[in-house]
């Protein structure tokens, strides 16, 4: 009986929280829209100024980020190699930390190269074809560094399987991981899901403001919603499959 009596109260609290969040969201949205439209002209001029400045030095930005992040990855790769050659457990643990840092810098290098390449694809960029060549070269080097890091990791963990060039590399790699490593991957993946679950609605609001302020059109709104739908759909699909068949 207590449970039945508490259900209306629980539902009331849920509805009250929903109403509160709607009110807070509406106030924040109104305030943001007011501020955005108040500085619309100045913001658009500032964005055009910085974008035109970027186009003048697009090649330098591409090369600069590649050199800096590539150097970070290479330095930590070499440090990890030095620790591995010591042949001690402490050295291998330190090498794992260095490899994680190198892999992070390498992955960020790839992301930034895609960003800068996309911004450089503009008719106003007189060196657009050179930007294409740099993008292809830099991404190839990043991919090669990832392959070297994977090979180096296998020196510490010889039971690891899979090569970067394999189409089913991720599957082979996960199958060769032990329970502790898999748990780290699972928790990291769930943490990523939670972050993206909060970030995608914010990006949808940004895309809407972009349409109202800068005439970016509907494509960014549709694109974010597609990513949002895929992100949620894939998570739900795997949850249902694992509940039905159990962990593989």
Whether the full predicted model's pTM is greater than 0.95, yes or no, is no
Contact 127, 59 (CB under 8 A): yes
- Is residue 141 exposed (0-12), middle (13-18) or buried (19+ Cβ within 10 Å)? middle
Over residues 104-114, the mean pLDDT reads 96
Between the CA of residue 95 and those of 75, 91, 154, what are the distances in Å?
12, 6, 12
Over residues 119-138, the mean pLDDT reads 92
Over residues 80-96, the mean pLDDT reads 91
Helix boundaries (H) for the chain: 2-38, 40-56, 58-86, 89-120, 128-156, 169-175, 179-214, 219-245
pLDDT in tens, 32-56: 666 666 655 556 666 777 778 888 8
| Distance from the first to the final alpha carbon of the chain | 42
Give the rounded percent of residues in the chain with a pLDDT score beyond 90.
Answer: 44
Between 11 and 221, whose confidence is greater? Answer: 221
Contact 28, 104 (CB under 8 A): no
pLDDT at position 1 is: 46
Which residue is listed with tokens 């106003």? Answer: 124
pLDDT at position 247 is: 61
User: What does the mean pLDDT of the chain come to?
Assistant: 85
């Amino acid at each position: 009986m207590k449970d039945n009596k508490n259900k209306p109260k629980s539902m009331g609290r849920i509805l009250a929280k929903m109403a509160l969040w709607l009110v807070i969201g509406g106030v924040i949205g109104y305030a943001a829209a007011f501020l955005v439209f108040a500085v619309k002209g100045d913001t658009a001029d500032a964005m055009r100024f910085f974008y035109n400045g970027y186009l003048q030095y697009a090649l330098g930005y591409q090369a600069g980020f590649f050199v800096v992040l590539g150097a970070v990855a290479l330095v930590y790769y070499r440090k990890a190699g030095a620790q591995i050659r010591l042949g001690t457990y402490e050295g291998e643990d330190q090498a794992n930390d260095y490899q994680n840092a190198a892999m992070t810098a390498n992955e960020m290098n790839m992301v930034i190269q895609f960003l800068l390449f996309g911004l450089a694809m503009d008719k106003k960029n007189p060196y657009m074809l050179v930007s294409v060549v740099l993008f292809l070269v830099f991404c190839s080097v990043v991919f090669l560094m990832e392959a070297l890091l994977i090979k180096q990791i296998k020196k510490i963990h010889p039971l690891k399987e899979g090569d970067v060039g394999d189409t089913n590399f991720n599957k082979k790699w996960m199958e060769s991981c032990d329970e502790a490593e898999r748990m780290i991957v699972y928790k990291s993946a769930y943490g990523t899901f939670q972050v993206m679950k909060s970030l995608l609605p914010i990006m949808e609001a940004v895309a809407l403001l972009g349409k109202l302020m800068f005439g970016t059109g509907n494509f960014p709104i549709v694109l974010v919603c597609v990513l949002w739908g895929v992100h949620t759909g894939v998570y739900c699909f795997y949850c249902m499959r694992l509940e039905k068949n159990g962990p593989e």
